[in-house]
Each structure stands twice: as structure tokens, then as C-alpha cells.
Structure 1
Amino acid sequence: MIYMTFSAEAARAKSSGQPLVALESTIITHGMPYPQNVAVATQVEADIRAAGATPATIAVLDGRLHIGLEPEQLQRLGQSRNVAKLSRADLAACLATGGTGATTVAATMIAAHHAGIHVFATGGIGGVHRGAEQSFDISADLQELAQTPVTVVSAGAKAILDISKTLEVLETLGVPVIVYGQDMVPAFWSRHSPFPAPLRMDDPAAIARAHAARGALELPGGQLVANPVPVEDEITAEEMRPVIAFAQAEAEEAGITGKAVTPFLLERIYAHTRGRSLQANIALVRNNARLAAQIAQALRKLTD
């Protein structure tokens, strides 16, 4: 692919048939300030290596789609300002115009698929925003899950969203939602929600077999794995509910819309929880990375 460049580490893993795990880059550019963003991204990559796979952080730099970032590129991205937030609609335009952008869940799935990477670890997916019956604000992540064959390991949909409607849309689109190790859907910072798990699996190898079976059946789309935040890092739903409601009210009062909604809400929730939300976010991303590495290893064994 003319626009695609592999890092040295990712290229070695691909040529030798080692398992790779894709990582998004909006968590670096839109999730936290420098230098914490680079430190966390580096730690998540290290978690994947320690679990037996190779990380591939994905971003667009100067019109090139990078599958894996060299350390100096990660530093550069972490310090850059006004970086575009790329989804399906604007990924190609950013490449064509020589731009620099960070990939969302949807754009990372597209890039991972083209790079031959089957597993992707993130924090939480986008979904149906609260009040979507008026705003029609629904993340492109859901359509991407319905058409791009990548297994996405997350802590569920972000808790600022309407989780009930998000699950309904995923069901309509035929996207399997696999909850790892429990019978209810996690709610990002919280392990529990009112919603029963559509599917439950307790073994990374079973998730890998389900991914392979979808391919054998020629079913379009991927899988969403909902991996609960570790117990010791959880902020309960009861505690988060009023915090999220207050942040939503602030967004409405400020007239925040579109792509600006999620980063605004996360920043306000960070302030109201005195940083605890970010610490939980970091813990769940690392937890998802470790599980994704195990799934990627299991997938490789299926093809040996």
C-alpha cells in the first residue's frame, strides 16, 4: 500500500509470523498531556511485549500511515498540537493532503486490517451518545465493527454514552459483543452495568476461535470484546453516575457538539473525580492490552 509504513519492530514481527496487536493513537493526542501520554503509550506497548506479542501503535505522520511508531515518532506525536482526530470519513483525506492525525477506533481498525493485524486493544469504543434521538450523534466505531474483520478488546463502550442504545445498535448490525469473564456488560470505569452479557467467554483461545470461525463463514465485521476494569482500579457506577450527569450538563450549557463532546466530557470527569478517572482509564487500557496479546497469540496458534 503506497501510504503505509511499518516500524522496524512491526515489520520484523510480520515477516516472522509473530502475533501483532494494534493500538490507537487518539489516546496519545487527545487523552492526556505530555509527557504522561508518551509514558502511558510506552507502558502499554511494554505490556503487550511482556504478554508475548508485538505492539503496533497506528497514526498518520506527514501523509504516511504508520503501523507501529519508532520511539522518536511517538515522542513527536505526543508533543504535537492540533493533531487531527481521524475516523473513516477523513483518514484518506489526511493521507492525500500530507497531514498528521491520530486514529480513532474506526480508523485504527481500517489500518490494522490493511496491515494484516487481527487484534486491536483500546480503552472504550464510541457508540450512541445520550440524546442521540435529537442529535443523531452515533460513533462511526459501530459501523466499522460491522464491516471490518478485527477483534477489538475494550472495557465496553465509554460510560458517557447511552450503553443500552449502543448495545441495541451493535445487535442490529450483527456485531458479537463478548464479555470476558463475567455475566454483565462492563461500563468502562465500572465493572458492572444493568445489562446482561450478550455472549460470555472466559478463555482468550475461545475468543480467537470465534474470530477464526467468523472468517471461515465469510461473515463481515469484527468482534467486540468487553473486558472489565481490574477490581482494584474500578470506580463504581453508583459513584460515576452523578459525575457523568454533571459533565453532560456542562457540555450542553457550553454548546459542545460533534467530535469535541467526548474529550470535553472526559476532561470534566477527570476534574470532578480529581484524576481518579484517568488512573482507572490507564489501568483498563493496560488490562485490555494484555488480553489482546493473549488473543493474538491464540490466533497465531490456530494458523500454525
Structure 2
Amino acid sequence: MENFKNYLEISAEVQQALDAGQPVVALESTIISHGMPYPQNVETALNVEKIVRQNGAIPATVAIIGGKLKVGLSKQEITHLGKKGLDVIKASRRDMPILATKGEDGATTVAATMIIAAFAGISIFSTGGIGGVHRGAETTMDISADLEELAMTPVMVVCAGAKSILDLGLTLEYLETKGVAVLGYQTKELPAFYTRESGYYVDYRMDSPAEIASAFKTKQDLGLKGGMLVTNPIPQQYAMEHDYITAKIEEAVKEANQLGIKGKETTPFLLDKIKQITSGTSLEANIQLVYNNAALAAQIAVQLSQMQHASSLTFDL
């Protein structure tokens, strides 16, 4: 049953690329509406698309607009989400049927973007950082839906690690339990969003986009369910010092607890608070790591496309 097609709208450019077997990279829209203020959010989103193109792939920004699951947004649609900002609902798996039914807009999280990308037949997705197990989750049970989606949905996610406001150790344990391989691009240490260090380690180090693409293709060939997580350290020149940002995060977490902020409001509050505490340097770091991830994701998509094409030629012979 493919009734989801009644709700899915793929742009002509993205559909043509998919039909031709060209590399396509999915991009999320939460960063547009919830990640930063207008007009910087729109400028960043358009730059991310440009970087994907410069690295040989077609960008497919994903969002829910007017109840439609959109894959490949126009500049006007990106601007609409940017101007509407926090008034756009932050949409995860649970929100998708409600927004589609009510004909409303939604900025897609990692989880929702993975689902819609899979509907469209896109295998590679670039984001900033994934959600994970929140600090204190042993009592609050606050665990991001992103982790469950990685366990179920066959999409590779390229990120700068889990957001450093999370419990990184428990996040890795959860992914291991769910059978999700965590790869480090040219590193064995798990990057922690703003910083290249965390004190935790990924499952495997991978040194090239081709090596990562090959691992994912093998997973596809084996028919194993779920996705794969690629962690890509923030470029050194934009990285923040580990002890400094950790102290600032602790400060922000303490304030969130005092104010009783919980659930999906936690991450936006903490990121905004950290931006204030760091005098805006965290926002610039956020933008640069998103650009860095988009370039790597496009390079992986190009390699995967070439491998799939070669495999189909061999099969035809």
C-alpha cells in the first residue's frame, strides 16, 4: 500500500534526479523555522542547497506545507518558513498525520525528514546534529524520536554528532541497542556538535566518502532495516573549546531545570540560551557545521549513486 503518495509532493527537479539515478541529499527544515532568526535562517538554508549542488548532488529540502509532505522546496517556500519562524509547528513522526489532516505547516525534525525522504526514495540526509537521550532521562524518559527513526528508517544521516546538550554516553548506548552503526568521518572520537571532542567513541572510523557509501550500500544489499549515522566533526577553525562549551551548557541546563522547561521545548531553549551566553559564537559554529555536513553528504550521495549505477550494469549483464 502506497497511500502516502496522496500526501507527498516532490519537486520536478528532485523527481527528475531520482528517476535518472542522480545523487540527491535531503535537508531538514526545523533549522529554518526554529534554528535561527529571519533572515539569517533563509540565507543559511539557501547556502546549504548551494553547497550540495557544488558537491555534485541535488538538494531536497523537506517540510510540511499546507498539509503536503514536500520534498524539494522553492525559494518562496523556504522564505515562508523562515518568516513564519516559531509559529511553524516543529514536526516529528507523531505530528505528521495531524498536520496533513488539518492542512497546516510543519518544520520537519530529523525523524520526520527521514520518513519523508524514505517515502521519496532518498537515502542520504544532511542535518546539523541529531537528538538523543537527554540528561536525566533515567527519570524523565526524555529520549528523542530521532533515535527510534534511525533504528527503523533506511536513511543515512550525516551530522556533527549528537547535540552536546544531551547525555552522549547514553545516546551511544541507545543506538547500539537499536543496532544503528555510528561512523566517524576521519575520526574515532564522537564529535559533540560545537566541539570536535567528547570523550566518547564511535563504532568505526571511515576515511573517505566512498568508504561510507560502500558501507551503506552493503547494508542495503543485505536488507537490514534502519539507517546509519555518520558523524562529521565541525571544522577546526569554528570549533569551540570543549571545557568552555561544556561549562556553558551546564549553566543553560541548570536554568532550564529551574524554569521547568521540558519535552520538545528543551532543545530550542538550550540552544538559544547558549547563543546568548557565548555572545553569538555558538550560532556561527552551528551554521558552519551545517555547511560542512552538507558538503560531505553530497559527496557520499555521489559515490553511492555511482556504485548503484555500476551494480545495475553488472546485474543487467
TM-score bucket (shorter structure): over 0.9
Matching residue's letter, 1:12: Q
User: SS where residue 120 of structure 1 aligns?
Assistant: strand
Is 1:53 matched up with 2:57? yes
Q: Given the alignment of the two structures, is residue 264 of structure 1 paired with residue 269 of structure 2, yes or no? A: yes
1:232 aligned residue (237, 248, 256): 237
What are the Cα deviations for residues 58-105 of structure 1, in whole angstroms up to 9, with x where unaligned?
000001111010111111111114111111111122112111101000
AA matched with 1:141: D
Q: Per-residue deviation at 1:254?
A: 1.0
1:274 maps to a residue whose letter is S
The letter of the residue matching 1:147 is M
Question: Could you tell me how far 1:14 is from its partner in structure 2?
Answer: 2.0
1:144 aligns with 2:149: yes
Structure 2 counterpart of 1:32: 36
Unaligned ranges ≥5, structure 2:
310-317
Counterpart residue identity of residue 39, structure 2: P
The alpha carbon displacement at 1:16 in A equals 2.5
Structure 1 residue 241 displacement after superposition: 1.0
SS in 2 for 1:206: helix
Which deviations, in whole Å up to 9, do the C-alpha atoms of 1:239-278 show, x marking residues without a partner? 1011000000110111101110000000000000000101
Which residue of the other structure, out of 194, 201, 205, is the alignment partner of 2:210?
205
Of Structure 1 and Structure 2, the greater helix share is in: 2
Residue aligned with 2:94, SS:
coil
Task: Return the offset for 1:197.
Answer: 2.4
Does residue 35 of structure 2 align to residue 18 of structure 1? no
Counterpart mapping for 1:1-304 below 5 A? 1-81=5-85, 82-304=87-309
Identical aligned pairs, as a percentage?
A: 53
TM-superposed deviation, 1:208 = 0.8
Residue 196 of structure 1 deviates from its aligned partner by 2.1
Deviation at 1:18, TM superposition (A): 1.4
In 2: Cα distance, 1:175 partner to 1:259 partner: 23
Code of the residue aligned with 2:219 in structure 1: it is: R
* Partner SS for 1:32: coil
Question: Gapped runs of 5+ residues in structure 1?
Answer: none
Cα deviation per residue 1:145-198 (whole Å; 9 max; x = unaligned)? 001010000001000000000000000000000000012111110001111221
Determine helix, strand or coil for the equivalent of 1:302: helix
Q: Distance in 2 between matches of 1:150 and 1:141?
A: 12
Instruction: Give the letter aligned to residue 30 of structure 1.
Output: H
Q: Distance in 1 between matches of 2:115 and 2:128?
A: 17
Q: What amino acid sits opposite 2:13 in the alignment?
A: E
* TM norm structure 1: 0.98
Counterpart for residue 314 of structure 2: none
Instruction: Find the aligned partners of 1:245 and 1:10 in 2 and give their Cα distance.
Output: 42
| Deviation of 1:209 (Å) | 1.0
Distance 1:274 1:10 in 2: 38
- List 4+ stretches of structure 1 deviating above 6 A: none
Cα distance between partner residues in 1 of 2:10 and 2:178:
32
In 2: Cα distance, 1:266 partner to 1:241 partner: 13
Q: Which residue number in structure 1 is paired with residue 315 of structure 2? A: none
Shift, 1:15, TM fit:
2.8
Q: Which amino acid aligns with 1:299?
A: L
Tell me how far 1:212 sits from its aligned partner: 1.0
Aligned length: 304
